[in-house]
Structure formats: structure tokens, C-alpha cells
Amino acid sequence: MGTTFLTIAIHHAFCDALTRYLLERDFMRALEAPDDIQRGPPKPWYGDFAQYLKTHRDDEKAFKYWNDYIRGSTTEVVCRGPLGPTREHSILTNSMAITPPKKHQVGLGAVIVTAWSLALAQHSGLSDFVFKMVKLGRNYPYSGLDQMGGPLVGTSLLRLRLADTAESIQRILRRVQQELVSHEIYEHGLATLHSSGLPPVQCLLNVKLGTHTMQSTSKGGMTIHPRRDLESWDVQLPTTIYLEVAQELSGISMKMCYRSEHIGHQKAQLLFENFHDILDNIDGEDFGVGRLITKGKLVDNMTCESSCISRFTNPEIS
């Protein structure tokens, strides 16, 4: 007796993780009720949104927005000066069981971003710095964007200001959560701006949550097996550190790629471990954030393998 196989492959260049979730959801609905799949309003089309951006996006205004946003801060959280050509990255991996935070009433994404921010603060000794984040690109005020498939992944800058180490964990979590949704229309104007005067970032964070829910399911005599083991790929980006945090059925997985010519293996390992420790403790008691940072392992200094950290002094920014 033969077996029929249907394979659906989704190319990353033409979609993102949320698109995959939307396709999986529609596929399951079609199997459950084939006659109903064509009913209801038509789904929004990515092409219409691309044309809308072409006619409505103001890159000059976006550049001014990001310029003002990072003024007086620094993107140099690891080392000073140009990063140079990309070399092979070293990779650290880990995983942990984690549940949505209950005590502080914020989203899991905000908890992860805050933990990473605090790990960078402890590692660098800085109280005001900027790093880059990958975003799902669904914050832009466009009707139906949350149900649209396509290459909508965007980027956003996040600035951490840690003026008072006595600030409560709950307050900083809420502050970060508000920061994550505050840029909206300017996220789509960030990717092309690095050649226009904004400094290159040294850290890139990619938080992939909420799209890993489908399990093997049987419908109408057909069994669907999502191949999550084929979703991971190694990337080499022109940043000193790339941290990816992805949702798994059993918790979250973490992968940190780093360039050892900018941050040595020992310091990278300490940074990665401190991030894990802070994330593991951040939903506990609501004490001052400084106490949470000092629970981690100490880094002796913030010198890079060839240079020392300094404030960013680009005249267009400062």
C-alpha cells in the first residue's frame, strides 16, 4: 500500500515566522471545513502594503526620528570603531523552561528584552546604550497587517537608560514593554538608514515568540508533521553579537553568535551566562534592578580584544 506525501516549503526570503503560522492555520481550517475556506472577506495582500509604503514612507523624517532617539547614547557596547569585514562567528547555545510572566503583568518578549538589556549593562558598565532588534513588522498602522503574509520582518532600535539601579524590576519591565511598541511607523524606515549617518550597531537581538504552536495533527485521514528541526539556520551578520531567542514547545532556546576578534570567548561566555541567569530570576521578587544585575558573574573590564569602549562621537549624532 502506497503513501501519499504533500510537502510545503516556505522560503524565508518571501515570508517570516508569523506568515508561516498564518499559512498553517489556514491549511488546518481548509482541511477541517473545505467549503468554508473561501467565505469571509478577502485577506490583505502584501503587494498593496508595499505600494502603500512606497508612496507614504518618509525616509528623511524616519532618519531624523532615529537620530533624535539615539542622541547622547552609544551603540558601542562591545568595542570602539568600525567592525571591519565579517569573519566566522563562534556560537553558544542553551535552552530553558520558561512560562509567561505572571507577577509583573508584562509580555514574555518584554521580559527577554529586559534581561538582555540588563546583561549588556552589567557586561559593559554602561547606563545608556542602544542595540538593534528584529521585529515582526506588524506595528505599522495599516489595516489587516496582523493577518498579512509576506517578508514583513523589520528592525528597530532600543535604547536602555538605567539612571537608577534602585529602580524596581517591575517598573523597568513596563518601561521596556512600552518602548517596544513606541516606534511604529519608523520601524520600516530603519533598514536603509545606515548609509545615511546612523552608526552601525554592535548587538542584534531576534526574539521569535508566538509562532511555534502547531504540533503533529491528523485531519481527514492526513497527518501533518511540522518539521521544526529544519527551521534553524546559521547566519553571519555584520554585528559583534547576534542573539536569537526562539520559542519551543518545552520552553525557549537561545543561540548567541559572536565575533571573537571583538569579544573574547571567556567574556562572551560570561555575557551569555549572565543573560540566562537574569532571565531565570527576573520574574521573582520586585527588588531594585541593581541587585538583579549583581547576581550575575562579574566581568573584569570592557576592553575589546584590540580597543576600549567609548562614547559614540559622530558629529551628526552628538
Element (H, E) at 272: helix 265-281
pLDDT at 274: 92
> Where do we find the cell 495533527?
217
Give the CATH fold of the 40-293 domain.
Answer: Chloramphenicol Acetyltransferase (3.30.559)
pLDDT at 82: 67
Q: Rounded distance, CA 218 to CA 225, Å?
A: 9
Domain boundaries, the chain: 40-293
- CB within 8 Å of 253: residues ≥ 6 apart: 93, 94, 95, 245, 246
pLDDT at 309: 31
Half-sphere exposure of 174 (CA within 13 A, CB side): 9
pLDDT at 70: 93
Longest dimension (CA), the chain: 73
Coil, strand or helix at 243? strand
Contact 191, 53 (CB under 8 A): no
Q: What residues in the chain have per-residue pLDDT under 50? A: 296-318
Q: Rounded distance, CA 171 to CA 177, Å?
A: 10
Query: Exposed, middle or buried by CB within 10 Å (0-12, 13-18, 19+), for 195?
Result: exposed
CA distances from 306 to 136, 180, 261, 265, 310 (A): 35, 33, 8, 14, 13
Positive/negative CA dihedral, 189, 193, 198, 203: positive
- pTM as predicted: 0.83
The per-residue pLDDT for range 224-269, each reduced to its tens digit, is 777 766 666 666 677 889 998 987 777 888 899 888 888 888 999 9
Amino acid at residue number 54: K
pLDDT at 12: 66
- CB within 8 Å of 1: residues ≥ 6 apart: none
Q: Rounded distance, CA 245 to CA 198, Å?
A: 26
Q: Rounded distance, CA 235 to CA 248, Å?
A: 20
